Homo-oligomer: A and B are copies of this chain.
């Protein structure tokens, strides 16, 4: 009679399960990670991040550059601000945004490499 508790656990590879489980970051950490990476998952936000990787721009500039409404831009900038992906400074009536994290540009570059190599 077979051991009933585990499934697909007689396989040699199954031994790695405990090992991998131990190496995996905590659930809280994984949620933090996914919240950071979620910022890149929408094409509007991605467009904003790509634009800011070239130059600091104000809300209105970003609207012009991306073709999105000012309101839509502002809503997404709020998300990016909350996640600390962009920083901003006010100059008169304008608010200028720029990337707040070296890692953002790195991820944008790797992703572009990935897509370029896949075609």
Contact = CB atoms under 8 A, between A and B. Distances in A.
Interface of A: 6-8, 11, 13-14, 16-17, 19-21, 23-25, 27, 29-34, 36-38, 40-43, 46-47, 50-51, 54-58, 60-61, 64-66, 84, 91, 93-94, 96, 101, 103, 106-107, 110-115, 118
A92 B110 CA distance: 36
A17 B51 CA distance: 9
A118 B30 contact: no
Where chain A touches its partner, the secondary structure class is: helix
Nearest to A84: B118
Nearest to A85: B114
Q: How many copies does the complex hold?
A: 2
Contacts of A51: 20, 24
A41 B50 contact: no
B41 A41 contact: yes
Contact of A43 (B23, B31, B57, B61): B31
Contacts of A25: 50, 112
A102 to B, nearest CB: 9
